Amino acid sequence: MSAATTFLWRDGRLEARDDCDVVPARIRAADSWLVSEGSVLALDLHRTRFQAAADAETDAFWRAAIEVVPRTGDWFPRVEFREQLGSPQLLFRLREAPERQRSALLATHRGDDPRTEPRIKGPDLEAMLRLRTEAQDRGADEAVILSEEGFVAEGSTSAFAWWRGDALGVPAPELDRIDSVTLRSVLALATALGVEILPEWRRPDEFDGLELWALNARHGIRIVTGWVDGPSLAAEPGRLDTWRARLDALRRPLPGSLPDPQPEAVRA
């Protein structure tokens, strides 16, 4: 199997196809997760989030997609529910995983919020990638999206969490953002460990002196080491390593037993 392969779900099976679309397609739901040597974090949460957003029958498609993922190496697969010429489609992209990063630099997005469906992962993927590219042009890794009132909601590809002493802060639930699987996993760990969780409304200048994390499925937990024209951040030695290890300990083997299938089409 090549380093990046795209499959279309047709007649109860996955068919390998060219990745070029002659006619544009509109993504209605999408989800990605990191697979490392056959293990994955919170796969059921990714599945539930995708199925809820797709609002379509995806069980057989999901099972077939999981079977295609190799059980060796590092992969970052993506499922999509989309529309093309008015017809619904299910698409699976098998991609090699990028190198994981431990840290991130932020830049606040300057301009209107481009999100159209901020609580659903998929419809705004292209807009979020544009924001990330703009942030990279400013020397950052991630763009920070603010609410109309100026409160930090989420990043272009990440959720945020921060430490105030021994308490863990997160954006208030009223703020529009994607329900991050990685953040949910960290909050589950925090609850199990008795860590106080503080839903908060915070503007960028109110992060001065705090330890800030950027979280997503691709990298796990990254510590924010700088904010372009923003606050000065702090870090407690050893905390990042401890929590990254805790998060990795939650990884579980992918279901199924196929070691490394290489079909042109995979039946459900």
Percent of the chain scoring above 70 in pLDDT: 94
According to DSSP, the β-strands at 142-146 and 13-17 are unpaired
Number of domains in the chain: 2
Report phi then psi at 183, rounded to 5: -65, -40
Average pLDDT, the chain: 94
- For 72-114, the pLDDT digits (tens) are 999 999 999 999 999 999 999 999 999 999 999 999 999 999 9
> How high is the pLDDT of residue 261?
42
Lowest-pLDDT range of 11-25, 41-55, 126-140, 158-172: 11-25
**Do 92 and 182 fall into the same domain?**
no
**168: nearest Cα among 150, 206, 194, 142:** 194
Cβ-Cβ contacts under 8 Å for 123 (sequence gap 6 or more): 26, 27, 28, 29, 116, 117
**Do 151 and 37 fall into the same domain?**
no
Mean pLDDT of 16-30: 87
**49: nearest Cα among 35, 66, 63, 32:** 32
**Do 241 and 136 fall into the same domain?**
yes
Q: Is the separation of the CB atoms in 177 and 184 below 8 Å? A: no
Q: How many CB atoms lie within 10 A of CB 134?
A: 16
Lowest-pLDDT range of 16-30, 160-174, 197-211: 16-30
Range of the domain at 130: 103-248
User: What CATH number does residue 60 fall under?
Assistant: 3.30.470.10
Token couple for 149: 């009132």
Helix (H, G, I), strand (E, B) or coil at 239: helix
Lowest-pLDDT range of 19-33, 109-123, 132-146, 222-236: 19-33
pTM of the model: 0.93
> How high is the pLDDT of residue 193?
98
The answer to whether residue 31 sits within a structural domain is yes
Residue 159: which pLDDT band, with cuts at 50, 70 and 90? Answer: very high
Q: Cα–Cα distance between 143 and 140 in angstroms, integer?
A: 8
**Do 112 and 240 fall into the same domain?**
yes
Residue 21: which pLDDT band, with cuts at 50, 70 and 90? Answer: confident
End-to-end alpha carbon distance in the chain: 18
- For 27-52, the pLDDT digits (tens) are 999 999 999 999 999 999 999 999 99
**Do 146 and 233 fall into the same domain?**
yes
**Do 107 and 91 fall into the same domain?**
no
Token couple for 89: 């489609």
**Do 107 and 165 fall into the same domain?**
yes
Mean pLDDT of 148-161: 98
